[in-house]
Structure 1
Amino acid sequence: MSRINPIATESAAGTARELLGGVQKKLGMTPNMMATMAHSAAVLDAYLKFSGALGAGVLPAETREQIALTVGEANGCRYCLSAHSAIGKMVGLTQDQILDARCAKASDAKTAAILKLASLLVEKRGLVSDDDIAAARDAGVNDAEIAEVVANTSLNLFTNYFNHVADPEIDFPLAGTLPSSSSSEACGCHDDSCSAA
């Protein structure tokens, strides 16, 4: 059961109602996470503006969804894993790419470096090393992309933590848990070089 109940659009007041109406119009639904954020119009507005701004950045939608899956898995956020697995499919990710991203892996070297950096940001609480940044740069990740990896990781930390606190009902197809073994199959990778993060 949710700790904080979502607010129906028709029950919301003022700015929160306008924001929820905009979400409904854009997505054709109002996800429970956003309806729960609407208890504070400032929180919902901040989330929508942050997400919207990053949507106009240099990282493509597929990569942003992969980062969301990497961060969601690292934080054990079932709501976000379910939401971003569904959205990932909508933007063109395959099931294998979705599973790989949950382990901070990708077949493309540059994307893999981006996901590794996102994973390290979570693991090290942002205190990544010079070598961590050099590894990303060596894979072709430029400074604008590094900045957006930090921002997208931060956005997903916010939603992960919000969902841990509020515990909204998951209103997307439920993402399964990864097997607990460290085999290549456990993290959805398809070669021997992959192990579960």
Structure 2
Amino acid sequence: MSALPQINPAEATGEAATLLAELKKSIGPVPNMAKAMANSPALLKGWMSLSGALAGGVLPGPVRERISLATAEYNRCTYCLSAHTFLGKKVAKLDEDEIERARHATSADPHVAALLALSDAIARGRGTVDEAALKAARAAGVTDAEIAEVIGNLALNILTNYFNIVADTDNDNPVVVTPHGHA
């Protein structure tokens, strides 16, 4: 059972009701994470705003899903790992091999692999990344805009990972039972 109550969109009031209705209109069924985030309309609004802004950036959906998978795996967030495995398959059209590779912060596509390696280096360094990692990314063709958005997507995913771990959000996707448990 979730450590935070999930606000039922039909029973929500005030700004939470407005945000949950907006979310339902844009994506359909409201995920349990958003229902739990509705305990703080400021948090829900922030997540929705950052997610929407990054969706309009230079990184395409399949790349963002791979970053989400790698981050959820690293942070051992079963909720996010399950959600992004589902979204990776159904929305981003990633095959099983690419989903598994993303969980290990790699890809068969060299450019995507460079983006994931950079994201992983930033996560493992807690924001500190050596010049060699940046040079390797740039040598693989990663642009400054992509570097900036890797950081933004990483931050968005750390937010949702930590939120769902602390809230113990009830999973509303087919569960990926266990993260691989990378050190």
CA distance in 2, matches of 1:49, 1:109: 30
1:102 paired with 2:106, answer no
1:119 paired with 2:128, answer no
Q: Normalization by structure 1: what TM-score?
A: 0.89
Gaps of 5+ in 2: none
Matching residue's letter, 1:44: L
Q: CA deviation at 1:178?
A: 5.5
CA distance in 2, matches of 1:33, 1:56: 22
CA distance in 1, matches of 2:19, 2:6: 14
**Which aligned runs of 4 or more in structure 1 are off by greater than 2 angstroms?**
176-180
Judge conservation of contact 1:5–1:168 (CA < 8 Å) in 2: no
Gaps of 5+ in 1: 181-195
Report the aligned-residue RMSD.
Answer: 1.3
Q: CA deviation at 1:165?
A: 0.9
Which deviates further from its counterpart, 5-14 or 53-62?
5-14
Judge conservation of contact 2:73–2:180 (CA < 8 Å) in 1: no
Q: CA deviation at 1:179?
A: 5.7
CA distance in 2, matches of 1:178, 1:100: 13
Q: After superposition, where does 1:21-32 map in structure 2 within 5 Å?
A: 21-32=21-32
Once the two structures are superposed, residues 66-115 of structure 1 have per-residue CA deviations (whole angstroms, 9 ceiling, x without a partner) of 00000000000000000011111122111111111000010011100101
Judge conservation of contact 2:81–2:179 (CA < 8 Å) in 1: no
Identity %: 46
Counterpart position of 1:184: none
Q: Which structure carries more relative contact order (alpha carbon 8 Å, separation 6+)? A: 2
Q: CA deviation at 1:176?
A: 3.7
Judge conservation of contact 1:88–1:98 (CA < 8 Å) in 2: yes
Q: Normalization by structure 2: what TM-score?
A: 0.95
CA distance in 1, matches of 2:33, 2:44: 9
CA distance in 1, matches of 2:22, 2:82: 22
